[in-house]
Amino acid sequence: MGPFLNATLILVSILLIGIILLQVRGEGSGAFGQAQSTFRVRRGMELLLFRFTIGLIVLFVGLAILSARFHDL
């Protein structure tokens, strides 16, 4: 179970990095960003990416906990 869990964790982390990079928008770089003074509502594809990111984060944390739990076995 260990190698499968580790491979899944690596795959989810790569997907998470890609999804986060897709969300970088507007001017400036993603590393520094710019403060926006206006309120924006997420719609369409942006909302889908946001929810998918949250799901991947939950999955990543769950897999990391399982990996740490089964590491000693």
Residue 28 is predicted with a pLDDT of 47
Cβ count near 22 (within 10 Å): 13
Which tops the pLDDT comparison, 31 or 9? 9
Residue 57 is predicted with a pLDDT of 96
Q: What is the DSSP string of 11-44?
A: HHHHHHHHHHHHH--SSS-TTT-----S-----T
Residue 54 is predicted with a pLDDT of 95
Contact 62, 29 (CB under 8 A): no
